[in-house]
Structure 1
């Protein structure tokens, strides 16, 4: 099945080796691992053992503050395979019907929900009701109403709700944000975000509105939207959007093929973004200010992220995004660490409100005002 995972893997085996070699060099040349971590470890169960769940499980082998200890799946054979591969005890294995019983398991602290979009709402609420911290893949929900209900449920249960915004911890991305905060780009005037790939199997869940909640905008477009917000450093105040559909058989009603959307900010900055399931080689951010610029390509892929600014190439360490994400999220949950860019439910709700407005703008053809 061709998915965004496959697209992003097309960076190639050589790039992956470069990423791993760079990470090893960075680790060897720093004192990061000279003092073994002896603090508390976040014990995580993964819900949804598909391709991205597997990527996370592999990445967590390199975590120091988070550990994979449990699994939740509707497929018995996958549970058995993961038990053997990751040394997961039987008592930490659940299916979608009985995982509420995790409330009686003191050996699991958090559950990472990596299932189709339409399942996030009910599953996160069940995780909260079981008294466990919830980590959810993006988009957090199908719409802002669902997202607010998830936030409310986690607050009521006194557990944290975090969302898988891995780019919020990526070193080169954070350097661009630092430069912007320091005024090195001057007054930000323009952002461009391009995210897309050709979706493959027409029967995949991402092309099923009932499971995905939409099309490219819900899957890959959220990177451009979220990127516009953290690169510009403001919340948009209006949105316009247009949809292009060339294959209505593959991309049925409610499943967007390509959406162009524009954002306006109170400062006067504007953003022009593209989200597509039918255009390859789209993974680029560009930020322009009156004193400088930043360009990133690839900008949101699994790595290595590459970029340059008016000052030269970005040379921050290459990392395995999911490993860094989980260690950082462990700190957020266990020590209330405040990340540079939030990854909580409220952050995700802002994206959902704008996505709702984008779909409204597509439907009406009108500019939609945003309230945050």
Structure 2
């Protein structure tokens, strides 16, 4: 079997950008190659075209193109023709693409197309109750309805996407993102920095970062020595038009506590893991997500997590056993869950151990990759 992925991002030094979507694809790609599956990755929107092979994966960087008008159509057709030529030459059996921006709208491939619901603009606008641009909804709807199969990382994300795009729930298969657990080991979970709270993710409204100042203030009322570290790239704010969400968030912290808040910006992932190991509690008060890779990565490293309680998050842990689930707007309850861990090292250990076990049972890439292979085979042989 030969599987292809079409994506705007992938974690690689030659690729312009990558986030959670790219990480989840890479985890699967590496596991597929280890199982003897041939894999080709097409990465569009790149500054320069390139073709190379690395660690058993064939990469095609597809250069961005300029058009006088209707780039939304002509660039898609360029990608389509490029991919189809490689499909024929390399005998690729099936191709997978994300729902985001509906890149496969108006494309026709010579092999089955699978859409994975990583989180479309339609999905996020729905969760955030934000008005969506007509063209974004159109492109994503056309792309989704042209596919021959669908995968969602959580049941919740699949059911909401089915509703939004006019599919039946039965058409969507839930397959969680997978982790190579060997890369997320914490040999000394009992060693951590007392009182260190860690947020990892883009500084953006939908991730709940605007709730953190109020939550942290309530934590400090009970644990005055607590510290908050934030890691992740800054972003513009849709609601206010500000170029920096971090500057908006920073302004809402009490000036007296800013010395206990440290925004690191975007840092190499090796350093992120160091901070996870140091953390007393990891915080993810997000309003909009499909799964949240960094949440399960933190859990795999035996860290107590206080997460959002919305939809998808309820599939990532058991409330009170392998983590805590609290609505981001419930500041006092959210803070109390954090404080309960800060004041009880036994609870820290208990939650961290249970979190690691939960992830091992449900998100181990060894099991997840087998489910993906079975799904691909079922669509190839239709």
* TM-score bracket relative to the smaller structure: 0.3 to 0.5
More strand by share: 1
Structure 2 length-normalised TM? 0.37
Structure 1 length-normalised TM? 0.37
Flag the structure with more relative contact order, 1 or 2, with Cα contacts below 8 A and sequence separation at least 6: 1
Higher Rg of the two aligned structures? 2
